[in-house]
Amino acid sequence: MTKRLILIRHAKSSWDDPMTPDLARPLNPRGRRAAAAIGTWLNSRGHLPDEVLCSHAARTTETWARLSPALEDAPEAKLTPTLYNASVEVIMAVLRHATGREVMIIGHNPGLAEFAQRVLIRPPPHPEFRRFPTGATLVAEFEISQWQEAEFAQASMVDFIVPRSLEA
């Protein structure tokens, strides 16, 4: 059986007000456009999650709010505070408790970039993959029957995109 993971780093956030706490930073205009474009791209490629696990930070929840209208039958996101600036181990623990067939995780670097690198059998040759910039989206498949079986270096890359590629 196959399980699919959609891993998204939140879109570009705003630094306009230096007094805004990190958890409360919203997306900037570029980030709002990028999130919507990611949603359109996901839908066009048939990458439709049936479970969404999202950090509770403003920039991750806004990323979901901006991309989800483009997805057919988008589920409600489960706000998952442990994903806020989570380590690789925490992200894997969250994934292992997932129940969907196609699970989306929306989170933060540096943990998300490292997780993306460690979960794949072979990384894509994309020049931005290691950096996993804001809005980076990885779609990967695991040949497992349940998420509890997920391990590092087990997934195959299906798709990878960064918002700059969608602007072109």
Mean pLDDT throughout 9-21? 94
User: Interior CA angle at 58 toward 55 and 62, to 5°?
Assistant: 90
**Per-residue pLDDT at 34:** 97
Q: How many C-alpha atoms does 68 have within 13 Å on its Cβ side?
A: 20
Bridge partner residues of 104 (DSSP): 6, 52
> Checking DSSP bridges between strand 51-54 and strand 77-79, what pairing results, if any?
parallel
**Model confidence over 133-168: pLDDT tens digits?**
999 999 999 999 999 999 999 999 999 999 999 976
Mean pLDDT throughout 81-104? 98
Amino acid at 168: A
Of 53, 129, 143, the residue nearest 90 (C-alpha): 53
Instruction: Render 8-30 in DSSP notation, one character per residue.
Output: EEPPPBP-S-TTS-GGG--B-HH
Backbone angles phi, psi at 111, to 5 degrees: -60, -40
Number of other CB atoms surrounding residue 89 within 10 Å: 11
Amino acid at 16: D
For the entire predicted model, the pTM comes to 0.97
> Checking DSSP bridges between strand 156-161 and strand 102-107, what pairing results, if any?
unpaired
CB 15 within 8 A of CB 3: no
Instruction: Identify the structural domains of the chain with CATH numbers, from first to last.
Output: 3-13+25-167 (3.40.50.1240)
**Per-residue pLDDT at 168:** 61
What end-to-end distance do the CA atoms of the chain give, in Å? 36
Position 109 pLDDT exceeds 80: yes
Of 119, 1, 101, the residue nearest 51 (C-alpha): 101
